[in-house]
Amino acid sequence: MAPHEHFIGQPINRVEGLDKVIGRAKYAADYRFDHMAYGSVVTSTVTKGRIRSIDTRSALQAPGVLSVLSHLNAPPVPGYLHSSTSATPVFAGAEFKPFLDDRIHFNSQPVALVIAATIAQAEHAASLVRVEYETQDHQTDIHDNLSAAVIPPRSADYTRGLPEAWKNAPVHVEAEYQTPWQVHNPIEPHATTAYWEGDDKLFIFNKSQGVKTTRQQFANYFKLKEEDVKVLSPFVGGAFGSSSRMWPQEMMAVMGAKIVGRPVQVALQRTQVFNMVGYRPRSIQKYAIGAQTDGTLVGISHLAWGNTSRYEQFSERILDPTKSMYACPNVHTEYKLVPLDMSTPCPTRGPGETSGSFAMESAMDELAYALNMDPLSLRKKNFNADDPMKQLPWSSNYLQECYDRGAAKFGWEKRNPSPRSMRNGEMLVGWGMSAGIYKAERAPASASITMKADGQAVIRCSVADTGPGSITIMTQIAADVLDLSPEQVKIAWADADFPMAPPQYGSHTTASTGSAVYDAASALKKKFIDLEAVSVQARAIDYPGILQKHGLTELEATAGSKPEPELEKYSGKSFSVHFVEVEVHPLTGQVRVTRVLTAIDAGRVMNHKTAHSQVLGAVTWGIGIALMEQGLIDHRYGRYINNNLADYHVPVHSDMPDIDVFFVDKPDPVLDPMGAKGLGEVGLIGLTAGIANAVFHATGKRIRELPITPDKLIS
């Protein structure tokens, strides 16, 4: 490609795509070492209580078994806090610690790890372990425990104006909305391969969204120097937040490797992914909204409850969309956590905002019908010129363009507003819409770039790539700055020894790590310009020639990048608007999403191919949450009854509609030097409500509890 051609924005193929397609990519469970051993996890069959005894005799006599690890013989972990006889765990507020003591905190909790020479031997021996329990009464139903709700340590409660102003509005609606437990279920189950060199050097091959975080945690737990903990996670087969923190299989693999003195690999089974690696928490939301007869919002009240574990408090941004999305002088929000005898939830794509926007955008649709007003017109009328919560101007905001151009592409003007008024043969047709808002932030990051004598530039950064195409985007950014083709740029990533990148979540990877790559490339380019002592800005730089001229084999630049103080003067957000068409069978209540158009304001698009794929994935998630996905718990026993992909329904190819994606593609002038804003989550925010609103338009029946299953429509 010609020099000075812009590669940012181009739909180039993923730089790691070939490795994935031909099977060269190594995931956490693909590593093999001499004398490798494998661990199989034994899990509790009760939900709350204590372990009375563990009988491992038969397991230890089984072929190939090396050890059976439990709280009785676990190696010491200096960072663990010791148990006490207190009714409150001494580690309350921290992540679950495998084999800390004999207490059972949730069903299917790890109670033992059988380590054997092969996976089959480990799994067979695990079936021979016998555990007796002292059981206690448990609680897993959020409805039955609302009275025990607590305010999170970092309260999300917020009020501007009068808390109950909505009640005095001439038109108002009040309703309760519910969202279910949702499990990540990535294609790659969570796995860790670990081994020790001596007592002070630890190697971890992990499924992780942040290798630096993993390194810090294990260094703290085992009192090691950070540089003596090696963590690699170059390929991750889906995460969506489920690999954003430490989970039991990581610690069990590290403990096991210390006990048997050889590499140990622990891969969770599909059923165990439901219990051990977080999930989207259940939510109950009471939403009230009032307006003048012309649609001008008067007041909003948003009260939300979410579940957490008893040993740790997990909170999410369920109230955030309500605080900033619409121009409303009176807003009151409250958020409480309901501790249950379950494992801890964790960030799940669009954490908090996905659930909160379902209530907000459903309520806006209900208000539009109460006003006899077009749902799109109601949203446009209450557009926010500034962020009312932060009382700051937006860094950029093209939401109005998303409304207008999205509606035009979808053909919204052809919609008959009356419910049950549109048909396709015998099928009821519904058109609904919704909007979304998600934070656009930037965190400190670092990267290095080395120019080689052959003209190849090599980026090094610890950034993860869980699938959105981040390392491809980093390649494009460096190519753009250095006036190289992407083929001349290589990248090494997801190694904890490389320069620091924040974990890949929260839609800030491009703005954060991308800025570091941009700055490192700029610094490297300047080094070459300084070597020449003349300006070469107007022509392509002959990097190999300059290196040869100065007797150098390579030249490297490292840059640390952090948010500029100027950012504090602005509020950064990305925006989305969804237009949805559904067909509903009038007798069976079967719902099919037939068409989706999603319009996105995420700043300048770095790669239109990977960005488009991100939105396709978001739409898939939205359809799953709206129509299918729900973790079902039998509260008598406190355990999932659909902890597999046969009974936990997710969308398949035949469920997918025609999806049109529109990007405003205008740079944000403040957030980062590339003009990018967050994209990964915002394509999902609000979409579930858009589907529910379309179902109401088709049927005249308002479903306020997800998922929208046929029984709710025909009952």
Task: List % helix, strand, coil for the chain (3-state, nearest 5).
Answer: 30, 25, 45
Q: Which residues contact 2 (CB under 8 A, 6 or more apart)?
A: none
What is the b/e burial string over 340-377, where b = at least 16 CB atoms within 10 angstroms of the residue's CB? bbbbbbbbbbbbbbbbbbbbbbbbbbbbbbebebbbbe
Neighbours of 613 (CB within 10 A): 16
Tokens describing residue 182 = 């949702």
Let me know: does 486 contact 7? Beta carbons within 8 Å. yes
Which residues face 437 on adjacent strands? Answer: 575
Let me know: does 289 contact 173? Beta carbons within 8 Å. yes
What's the rounded Cα separation, in Å, for the pair 140 and 634? 9
64: left (phi over 0), alpha (psi -120 to 50) or beta: left
Candidate list 250, 334, 629, 681, residue with the active-site label: 681
What's the rounded Cα separation, in Å, for the pair 437 and 325? 7
Residue 413 one-letter amino acid: E
Closest CA to 661 of 583, 602, 584, 707: 602
Collapsing DSSP states into helix, strand and coil, what is residue 356? helix
683 secondary structure, DSSP code: T
198: left (phi over 0), alpha (psi -120 to 50) or beta: left
**What are the strands, taking DSSP E only, across 269-310?**
283-291, 297-309
Let me know: does 574 contact 611? Beta carbons within 8 Å. no
Number of residues in the chain: 715
What's the rounded Cα separation, in Å, for the pair 206 and 308? 26
Closest CA to 419 of 377, 365, 382: 365
Let me know: does 177 contact 704? Beta carbons within 8 Å. yes
Residue 583 annotated among the catalytic residues of the structure: no
The kind and range of the H/E element at 448 are strand 445-452
Collapsing DSSP states into helix, strand and coil, what is residue 205? strand
Collapsing DSSP states into helix, strand and coil, what is residue 588? coil
Rounded to 5 degrees, what are φ and ψ at 179? -125, 150
The pairing of strands 573-584 and 457-461 is unpaired
The pairing of strands 457-461 and 489-493 is parallel
**CA-to-CA dists, residue 596 to 58, 67, 577, 616, angstroms:** 56, 53, 10, 10
Structure-token match 């089959």, residue found: 120
Closest CA to 106 of 313, 309, 338: 309
Collapsing DSSP states into helix, strand and coil, what is residue 657? coil
Torsion of CA 362, 367, 370, 373, to 10 degrees: -100
Which residues face 89 on adjacent strands? Answer: none
Let me know: does 350 contact 286? Beta carbons within 8 Å. no
What's the rounded Cα separation, in Å, for the pair 259 and 138? 34
What's the rounded Cα separation, in Å, for the pair 449 and 456? 10
- Indicate if the alpha-carbon torsion angle 466, 472, 476, 482 is positive or negative: positive
What's the rounded Cα separation, in Å, for the pair 689 and 360? 8
End-to-end Cα separation, the chain, in angstroms: 61
Q: Which residues are catalytic?
A: 681
